[in-house]
Amino acid sequence: MSAVVRLVGAAVWLFMVAAAACVFVYFALSIAPGNSDCGSSPPALSDWISAAAQGDLGFSDGIDCGDRVAAMLYRRAPKTVVLLGWALAVVMTLSTLLVWSWRAYRGTWSTRISRSAAYLFSAAPVFILAHWLIEAVNTGVYVTLGELSAPSWFPLPVISSPTEFGWVRLLCAGTVLAVGSGAMIRTARTLEAETDRLMKSEAVLFARGHGFGPWKVVGPALVGPVLALLRSRVLSFFGGAVIVERIFVTGGIGQLTWDAARSRDWHALLGATLVWSAAYAVFVLVSEGVLALVDPRFRRPEAS
Partner 1 sequence: MNRRDRFTAGWATRFGGLLVAASVLTGPVAAAQDVVPFTYVEDNEPSSLHPSYVRKMVEVRMNELIFEGLFTTDQYLKPVGELAKQWTVRRDNKAIDIELYERYWHGPERRPVTADDVLFTIQALQDERSQSTKARAVSFIRRAAATCAAGTDPCRNVRLEFTRPIPEPERFLVFKILPAHKFPVGKPLKMRGDPFHRQPIGSGPFKFLRRSENIIGLERATEAEDANLLSRVNAQFMPDKELQVRILNFGNIHSVIRILPKDRAVVEKNQKVSLKPYSTFSWWYIGLNHRNPHLQDLNVRKAIAMAIDRTDIRKSTLGDGETITGPFSPRSPYYNKEVKPHETSGLRKRARAKKIEALMRKAGYRRERRGPRYFVKKKFRVNLTMKVSSDLRPYQLAVLNIQTALQRAGFRVSLRWLEASAYQQVVREKKDFDMTVSQWTFSQNADVRPLFHSEGRLNYINYRLKEMDRRLDEARSAQDPDVLLAINARIHELAHDDLPYIFLWSLVDYSAVSRKLSGVRIHPYNYFAWTDSWRWR
Partner 2 sequence: MRRRVLIELSGWVTLLVVVTLIGLLAPYEPGFDANTVDEISWTHPLGADPAGRDLLFRLLIATRAFLLPGILGAVLAVSFGVLVGALSGYVPPETKRSRWADAMRWGLSFLLAVPGTLPRFTSILFLLVATSVWAGDIMDTFPWLEAYAFEAYLIGAATGLLYGAEVGNEIRSRVRQACTEEFVESARADGLPLSRVLGYHILYLQCRPLIYRFLLEVFAAVVLVESSLSYLQGFGVQEPQPSLGNILIMTKDRWRHGEWLTAVVPTVCIIGTFIILTRIGDLLSRLPRKGTEGF
69 contacts: CB under 8 Å, gap ≥ 6: 57, 58, 59, 60, 267, 268, 271
Closest CB to partner 2 among residues 120, 145? 120
From 62, 157, 166, 240, residue interacting with partner 2 (rule: CB under 8 A): 240
Torsion of CA 45, 50, 55, 59, to 10 degrees: -40
Residue 221 three-state SS: helix
User: Is position 64 an interface residue for partner 1 (rule: CB under 8 A)?
Assistant: yes
User: Is position 29 an interface residue for partner 2 (rule: CB under 8 A)?
Assistant: yes
From 18, 25, 137, 275, residue interacting with partner 1 (rule: CB under 8 A): 137
Q: Which does 152 bind (CB under 5 to 8 A by kind): partner 1, partner 2, none?
A: partner 1
Residues 78/170, Cβ–Cβ less than 8 Å: no
Closest approach of partner 1 to the CB of residue 182, in Å: 24
Question: Letter for the amino acid at 244?
Answer: V
User: Is position 127 an interface residue for partner 2 (rule: CB under 8 A)?
Assistant: yes
User: Is position 80 an interface residue for partner 1 (rule: CB under 8 A)?
Assistant: no
User: Is position 269 an interface residue for partner 2 (rule: CB under 8 A)?
Assistant: yes
Closest CB to partner 1 among residues 96, 138? 138
Q: How far apart are alpha carbons 242 and 258 in whole angstroms?
A: 6
Q: How far apart are alpha carbons 90 and 68 in whole angstroms?
A: 34
Closest CB to partner 2 among residues 30, 108? 30
Closest CB to partner 2 among residues 217, 274? 274
From 122, 187, 257, 263, residue interacting with partner 1 (rule: CB under 8 A): 263
User: Is position 243 an interface residue for partner 2 (rule: CB under 8 A)?
Assistant: yes
**CB-based burial, 211-238: b 16+ in 10 Å, e otherwise:** eeebeebbeebbbbbbbebbeebbeebb
> Which of these segments, 36-44, 98-106, 181-189, 194-202, binds partner 1 (CB under 8 A)?
36-44
From 159, 236, 249, 285, residue interacting with partner 2 (rule: CB under 8 A): 236
Q: How far apart are alpha carbons 235 and 255 in whole angstroms?
A: 16
Q: How far apart are alpha carbons 140 and 144 in whole angstroms?
A: 6
284 contacts: CB under 8 Å, gap ≥ 6: 10, 14, 231
From 9, 140, 213, 219, residue interacting with partner 1 (rule: CB under 8 A): 140
Residue 116 three-state SS: helix
Q: How far apart are alpha carbons 224 and 144 in whole angstroms?
A: 45
Residues 179/129, Cβ–Cβ less than 8 Å: yes
Closest CB to partner 1 among residues 246, 299? 246
From 75, 216, 231, 299, residue interacting with partner 1 (rule: CB under 8 A): 75
Task: Give the binding site for partner 1 (CB under 8 A).
Answer: 32-40, 59-67, 75-76, 79, 134-145, 147-164, 167-168, 246-247, 249-252, 255-256, 259, 262-264
Task: Give the binding site for partner 2 (CB under 8 A).
Answer: 13-14, 16-18, 20-21, 24-25, 28-29, 31-33, 119-120, 122-128, 131, 181-182, 185, 235-243, 246, 257-258, 261-262, 269, 273, 276-277, 280-281
